[in-house]
Structure 1
Amino acid sequence: MRILCLLFPFFLLLLQGAAGFSFAPGSKKECERIKGHCSFSPCYFPFITTGKCSFLFFCCKK
């Protein structure tokens, strides 16, 4: 019974983390939809940062 009490919070954290990763590809597609591109570094002239593709990638648009 103690094992169930310890495993339940672990599974909740696992599911919560998995839900956050499912949104990353949608952001990249949205960036490409507005005719932008994803860049690892912040955008430089003549591009401007219009959003984020994922945690480390920025959406750049001319």
Structure 2
Amino acid sequence: GDTFTLADCAAAPSLFYADWTYPIPEACAALKAYRQRLLQRPSFARAVNEARPFRHYFPLGAPDRD
């Protein structure tokens, strides 16, 4: 829906990083679309952008996307 819930707050960081470590399969189209919608939310996009300088601290590195 249009409401950003506590469930979205919990899922967003996990899905964001999980897709880096193991890309979400094409067979999970709904999950991929959900992740994209999360990335388009202004509050989450801001958090992603503000964290960019710290990506080198991620254990498995960070891809050049998102």
Q: Say whether the fold is shared (TM-score over 0.5).
A: no
TM-score normalised by structure 2 residue count:
0.29
Q: Which has the larger radius of gyration?
A: 1
More strand by percentage? 1
TM-score normalised by structure 1 residue count:
0.30
